Every structure is written in C-alpha cells, then in structure tokens.
Chains A and B, each alone.
Chain A
Amino acid sequence: MFALSLSRLLLQALPKKPVTPRATAQCIRSLTTSQEESLKKDDMPTKMENPFKSPPKTCILCNITVDFKNVQLLSQFISPHTGRIYGRHITGLCGRKQKEVSKAIKKARSMGFMSVTLKDPQFIKDPDICGIKHFE
C-alpha cells in the first residue's frame, strides 16, 4: 500500500504531457533580451588599422637620385680631412644608396668633378649628416 501511494505521488509529480524542447537558434535568441544583444555587439572589436604602427624605416637618401654632377651632395659623405669615402656604419645609408654614392664619387673623381684627397672648401660648412666625431 505504502509503495503504491509513493509511486502515485511520483506519477502525479511528473508532468503529464512530455515537453520536448525544440532547441533551435531562433528560440535561444528569443530567450536573450534586445539590450543584452546590443551590448554584445558593442563589445566586439572594430576593425581598424594598427594605430601603433611605426613609420617605415628609410635612409636619408630614400627617393633622392644620386648624380655624379651633384658634387655638394657627394661631398657630405667624404671626410673633410682626407677626402675618403665614409663607410656604411658611419653614413647610415641602406645598401643600395651607399653603393650608388660610392660609385658616383669615384666617377666624379675620375671625370674631374671632385677632388680625391680633400673636400672642396666651399662645402666644409655644410650640415653634418654622418655625425662622425673626428679625433681632436
């Protein structure tokens, strides 16, 4: 008897009609409120260009044509005491430009445009690009 009543209680406790949950996307969406939805959308990161991007590394002569006739420009890359061409570690130029400058200086020297052993006196006061400190 006792057992029967317990089972009857259990039967009564159980829902009479079985509820089959139809878990579709639409249903789930309707569960969340519209406010929550808008919050979620604002939370997503917006696509933008990297604001912390550093500017492209360029050498001083980037996009400047190096000519053997431009003796003033070439004289900025030679020593004022000996007229020797400065190395890459002093001028700070990229590989291509250093080669161009070096070739132009040698060409100018052989053609009689630029001196070999000294820097033209009128170009000595030019701004210092290379930043080399001579022994004093």
Chain B
Amino acid sequence: MPRYELCVILKAMQRPETAAVLRRTVETLLARGAVVRSLESLGERRLPYKISKHDSRHTHGGYFSVDFHASPRIVSELLDHLERDIDVLRPTVLKKDPERLQALCCGAQAERAHTATSR
C-alpha cells in the first residue's frame, strides 16, 4: 500500500477539543482501512497568513502530521470529509515517495566519476 502523509491545520482550541478532533480524524482513517503509522504534532503557531474557513477568519492554528498507509481510493473521500469538518482549517494529503537509492548529489557524483576514470 502506498504511503501518505496528512498535514492538517486545526483551529486554535483547548487541549481536550484538539484531542477529540484528532481522535475522530484517525478513527475515520482506520474505518476506511488505513494503517496509521504515526501522529506528530508540529506545534501550535501563528498562521503565515489569515485563513478564512467555515465563516471565520483564523490567525492561529495547530499543525499536525499523520503518517499512514492506505489504498489510493480513500484519499479523495478523506479529503472531502476533512473539508466538511468545522475544526479543520487546511487538510493536505501528500504521497510519500519510497526511499529509493537517492541519486548522488553533485559533489559526490563528480567524485565518483573522477575515481572511476582514474582507475
């Protein structure tokens, strides 16, 4: 199953309410057959620009990141569900590329080429 990352910005709320939102988000994920890998908090900070969502303008928000494995079919449904959630300001699902052998960067590549030619 491909690996996705859900970066979500929640409304600035009290701790129990934030926990409730995260709980129901993860529960929707699990209900659709996703395997949640991890849930990280990226802190509560001031938004880079004011976001108008669900009839109000927000200046602060809580950033969270959910790492999960899921079938590609549920991604659009999930985004639809999160857009309708009042407490979620901006949901984004990104695909995480599998860690293939990263092509060497310029310096390392040049070095390798040099050693190969010298031999």
Binding site for B on A (CB under 8 A): 56-59, 62-63, 69, 94, 96-97, 107, 109-117, 120
Contacts and interface: CB of A to CB of B under 8 A. Distances in A.
A116 B9 CA distance: 17
A41 B49 CA distance: 76
Interface of B: 7, 9, 42, 47-49, 51, 61, 63, 65, 89-90, 92, 94, 105-108, 110-111, 114
B61 A112 contact: yes
Nearest to B40: A69
Given A57-B110, A69-B42, A63 B105 contact: yes
Contacts of B94: 107
Contacts of B89: 112
7 contacts: A107-B94, A111-B9, A112-B48, A112-B89, A112-B90, A113-B48, A114-B48
A116 B107 contact: no
Contact of A116 (B42, B49, B108, B111): B49
Contact of A58 (B51, B61, B105): B105
A69 B65 CA distance: 10
Given A56-B114, A112-B47, A62 B107 contact: yes
Closest 8 CB pairs of A and B: A58-B107, A115-B48, A62-B105, A56-B107, A94-B106, A56-B111, A56-B110, A112-B90
Contact of A120 (B48, B51, B63, B106): B48
B97 to A, nearest CB: 12
Contacts of B49: 112, 115-117
Contacts of A62: 105-108
Contacts of A117: 49
Contacts of A120: 48
Contacts of B114: 56
A73 to B, nearest CB: 15
Contacts of B48: 109, 112-116, 120
Contact of A63 (B47, B108, B110): B108
B111 A112 contact: no
Contact of B92 (A63, A94, A111, A116): A111
Contacts of A114: 48
A96 B105 contact: yes
